[in-house]
Amino acid sequence: MLLKWSLLFLCLFITVPSVTLDEFSKGKQQQHFPKKLKKKQLYLGMTLKKFHKKAPNATRIDTASEFKIEYTEAISDSSITSYSYLFTKDQEPLLYAITIAYKDMSTVRALAESLMGKPKNNEEWRMEPSMIKEDFTMGAWTFGHKLVYGATIINSEWEQGFQSN
């Protein structure tokens, strides 16, 4: 009888596709990202090591900063010119900001609102930890032709939270 239950239990784990907790939580955060960023499979809190695998064409642009590591990635796209990425400067650096630079400044705000609704924190969006299943708050805002996503990750410039306008 025990063998029968063991086999049944084993079959359930083999046949049922599973989603890891990590994939689930990243999906919660990524639901607020534009489609092209989702396809890159990047997320806030990602390690630099994983980032190198997902964005091999990104180039490090800073060398002197005491608190951050910065990468940029030029894009040949009809709407996006580049992505910028900021990492904490820790033993294991974590991605704490993603900036998307668009060619047409007039579309950035409308795109952000289509993804996240009307901003509820002055002119910015906040996604609390419980909403994105993370241990940090995610913020988003537009700035000229850019859409910025940031996180209150330890040792980032927003560790203490975001300042509102």
| Cβ atoms within 10 Å, residue 8 | 9
- pLDDT score for 125: 96
- pLDDT score for 4: 54
pTM of structure: 0.83
- Evaluate whether 150 touches 159 at the Cβ level (below 8 Å): no
In the chain, the amino acid numbered 128 is E
- Evaluate whether 29 touches 136 at the Cβ level (below 8 Å): no
- H/E run at residue 138: strand 138-143
User: Higher model confidence: residue 62 or residue 127?
Assistant: 127
Backbone angles phi and psi of 100, in degrees to 5: -110, 120
pLDDT band at 6 (very low <50, low <70, confident <90, very high): low
Cα 119-39-78 angle, rounded to 5 deg: 80
> pLDDT tens across 27-85, in order?
788 999 999 999 999 999 999 999 999 999 999 997 788 889 999 999 988 999 999 99
Above 80 in pLDDT, residue 17? no
User: Higher model confidence: residue 62 or residue 89?
Assistant: 89
Which residues, at least 6 apart from 156, have a Cβ–Cβ distance to it below 8 Å?
Answer: 68, 86, 88, 94, 96, 97, 150
Name the β-bridge partners of 149. Answer: 98, 140
